[in-house]
Amino acid sequence: MKEEFRLLIALQDLDIMIKETKDQSTSEELKNLGFKLTGLKELQEARVKLARKIPPVLINRYEKLMEHYTMAILPVTSDKCLGCFVRLPSVFFSAAHSHRLLTCENCGRMLYLL
Amino acid sequence: MDANKLVTFFEEDLCIFSLRSRKKFSALQEMIRHLAGTGRVSDEHFIMEMLKNRESLGSTGLGKGVAFPHGRSLAIKELTILFARSPGGVDFEALDSKPTRIFFLILAPSDKGADTYLALLSELISLVQKPNKLGELNKVKDYKTLIEILGGNGN
């Protein structure tokens, strides 16, 4: 997989963590379990550094998708896009496409073949 | 979640009874490498990055020798728990600064909500707070005994 795609996937994992930390219900639950969530600033700084390493065209596309959807990149676990549930073309599942980022032709989300 | 449900998440090939690494990130790396060897993760790098970021948010070493590294990633297919025991202890920057000997590494897919692992986390934390459980976990050397400690029948 191209390094820029790897960075983009890492960015989404980080964005999910930041969102979870900002979510009052989730963070309260974690705090009640005994976790100290004091490093939100560090996470946000890590996000800035990571985003800088990704080509602008790709990050712009990712951020536009994130404005509309909960996740810009979805795993492919069946023959349908998990975002819009439209069937994916069979070419997606060829060995040549494994571990690459593809695009759902219907909704535009990026798809990651596990 | 009851004990019978809890034990279904523990699999024999997802247990390390003698973790070799003594430092925080090398211990996490050892656990992730073990997971990758079972085919549960598609890319070790993503999981490691996610866990490092999670630790920068605040140590998941809650003290009393137990840590619960956890998080969600696109590189994990389904909710997975890895149990690890370190006989010598790991410097995991725990909240009480004491060495960590017991690890429950909990990984969830990023397309599922946080609630998929919070219930599990809550159940495991309650379990280790019960009298004697931690002492038993500190001595566990095999899967059957681990399942008995967690409340299953070990079969």
Per-residue pLDDT reduced to its tens digit, A75-106: 888 889 989 999 988 887 776 566 677 899 99
- The DSSP code sequence of B79-141 is -EEEEEEEEEEEB---TT-PPEEEEEEEEEETTS-THHHHHHHHHHHHHHTSTTHHHHHHH--
Q: Chain B closest CA to A74's CA: distance in Å?
A: 7
CB contact under 8 A, A12 and B109: no
Positive or negative CA dihedral for B40, B43, B47, B52? Answer: positive
For residue A40, give the nearest of B45, B57, B109 by CB distance.
Answer: B57
- Mean per-residue pLDDT of chain A: 90
Tell me if residue B70 is catalytic.
yes
Within-domain flag for B140: yes
Catalytic residue (choose from B24, B40, B70, B101)? B70
Which chain B residues are within 8 Å of A45, Cβ to Cβ? Answer: none
Q: Is the pLDDT of residue B119 over 70?
A: yes
| pLDDT value of position A98 | 63
Chain A to chain B Cβ contacts (< 8 Å): 90
Determine how many CB atoms are found less than 10 A away from the CB of residue A87.
11
Please give the residue range of the domain that contains residue A35.
1-62
Q: Is the pLDDT of residue B37 over 90?
A: yes
ipTM: 0.89
Query: Is residue A40 domain-shared with residue A80, that is, in the same domain?
Result: no
| CATH code of the domain containing B58 | 3.40.930.10
Within-domain flag for B23: yes
- Of chain B residues 55-74, which have a CB less than 8 A from chain A? 56-60, 62-63, 71-74
Assign B73 to helix, strand or coil. strand
Query: Is residue A1 domain-shared with residue A49, that is, in the same domain?
Result: yes
